[in-house]
């Protein structure tokens, strides 16, 4: 066994992988929630579809996406290994690293919450991400007047087997800018018109809130970045940003579309 393999199969090594991947996923959530705020715009999904196109075609973001998929897998696999080992060797193993008296309750709790989130991510990516990349997607054409950009003519192109592609051009004769986009907004809208789908999202966001409440500060603690001076700041960000604001904004999206869109 090489020293690197040995390091990452030790208890501390596994916890380090968990914390690094977990904090990277937290960073992703900030970008994801900000981007998805486009769903609240009353523009028939133009900004949201443009944002989705940018996220899937801009090379640096594509590279970071692969790191993201790897992080999700590593985070879930190492969580499983740690949980199985804790169950075998409780109370010694985890308590040594975490140092908290209630660590076994916390780790069990994190496991259940993490499982709900993993199910959520599989359903979520299957419905949106997989559909966008490999599914039979609807397209929408947006014609924006060059003289008055608030004037937008929207045509939902039918799913009639015609091969369509993303395109963008200026029609000088008609004085409009034409953009044809894959309409992920329509897929999101259709999904969030089903009550059970909205319920799945809201329940998952409650799980996310509790998972991140413990996970965010625990990640910093494992990395040793929990100096007394910064701990109140880390705890504050963990509480307000990651366990209140971000889950609440994510939960509001399906609720907004279900009730008001
Ligand atoms: C209401 C809340 C949410 C909405 C409307 C939403 C919407 C979307 C959409 C439309 C995509 C596909 C984007 C694309 O391929 O361009 C996507 C991808 C993704 N979402 Fe969400 N999302 C939500 C919440 C979440 C949450 C809470 C998580 C994690 C816990 C999450 C994790 C992901 C991941 C990992 C991807 C793949 C990203 C990539 O390929 O780079 N999403 N989401």
- pLDDT tens for each residue of 152-189: 999 999 888 889 999 999 999 999 999 999 999 999 99
pLDDT value at residue 105 = 53
pLDDT value at residue 98 = 47
Q: Whose CA is nearest to atom 34 of ligand 1?
A: 125
Q: State the span(s) of the chain assigned CATH 1.20.1300.
A: 3-136+186-260
The residue to mutate among 35, 50, 62, 124, having the most atoms of ligand 1 within 8 angstroms of its beta carbon, is 124
CA of 82 to the centre of ligand 1 (A): 27
pLDDT value at residue 24 = 98
pLDDT at 107 over 90: no
pLDDT at 96 over 50: no
pLDDT value at residue 160 = 87
Q: What's the mean pLDDT in 231-256?
A: 97
d(CA 155, CA 141): 5
pTM for the structure as a whole:
0.90
pLDDT value at residue 161 = 85
Percent of the chain having pLDDT more than 90?
A: 80
Instruction: Specify whether the CB–CB gap between 182 and 165 falls below 8 A.
Output: no
Q: Which atom of ligand 1 is nearest to the CA of 65?
A: 41
Edge-to-edge strand list for the sheet holding 176-182: 152-157, 139-145, 176-182, 167-171
Instruction: Output the six-digit token pair for 39.
Output: 């769903």
Q: What's the mean pLDDT in 33-48?
A: 97
d(CA 58, CA 40): 24
Q: Whose CA is nearest to atom 8 of ligand 1?
A: 128
For 100, the 3-state DSSP assignment is coil
Task: For the domain made up of 3-136+186-260, give the CATH fold.
Answer: 3 helical TM bundles of succinate and fumarate reductases (1.20.1300)
**Better pLDDT: 261 or 123:** 123
Instruction: Please provide the average confidence, as pLDDT, over all residues in the chain.
Output: 91
pLDDT at 202 over 80: yes
């Amino acid at each position: 066994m090489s020293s690197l393999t040995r390091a990452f199969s030790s208890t501390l090594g596994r916890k380090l992988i968990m914390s690094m991947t977990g904090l990277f996923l937290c960073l992703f959530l900030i970008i994801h929630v900000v981007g998805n705020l486009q769903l609240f715009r009353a523009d028939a999904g133009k900004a949201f579809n443009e944002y989705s196109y940018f996220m899937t075609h801009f090379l640096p973001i594509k590279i970071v996406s692969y790191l993201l998929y790897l992080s999700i897998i590593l985070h879930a696999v190492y969580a499983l290994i740690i949980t199985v080992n804790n169950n075998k060797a409780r109370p010694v193993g985890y308590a040594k690293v975490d140092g908290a008296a209630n660590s076994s309750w916390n780790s069990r709790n994190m496991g259940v919450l993490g499982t709900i989130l993993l199910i959520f991510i599989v359903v979520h990516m299957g419905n949106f991400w997989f559909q966008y990349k490999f599914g039979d997607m609807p397209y929408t054409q947006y014609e924006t007047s060059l003289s008055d950009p608030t004037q937008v003519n929207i045509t939902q192109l039918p799913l009639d087997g015609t091969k369509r592609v993303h395109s963008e051009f200026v029609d000088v004769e008609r004085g409009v800018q034409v953009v044809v986009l894959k309409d992920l907004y329509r897929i999101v809208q259709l999904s969030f018109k089903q009550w059970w789908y909205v319920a799945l999202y809201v329940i998952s966001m409650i799980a996310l809130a509790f998972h991140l409440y413990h996970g965010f500060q625990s990640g910093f603690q494992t990395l040793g970045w929990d100096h007394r001076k910064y701990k109140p700041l880390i705890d504050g960000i963990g509480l307000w940003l990651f366990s209140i604001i971000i889950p609440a904004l994510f939960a509001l999206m399906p609720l907004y579309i279900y009730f008001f869109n």
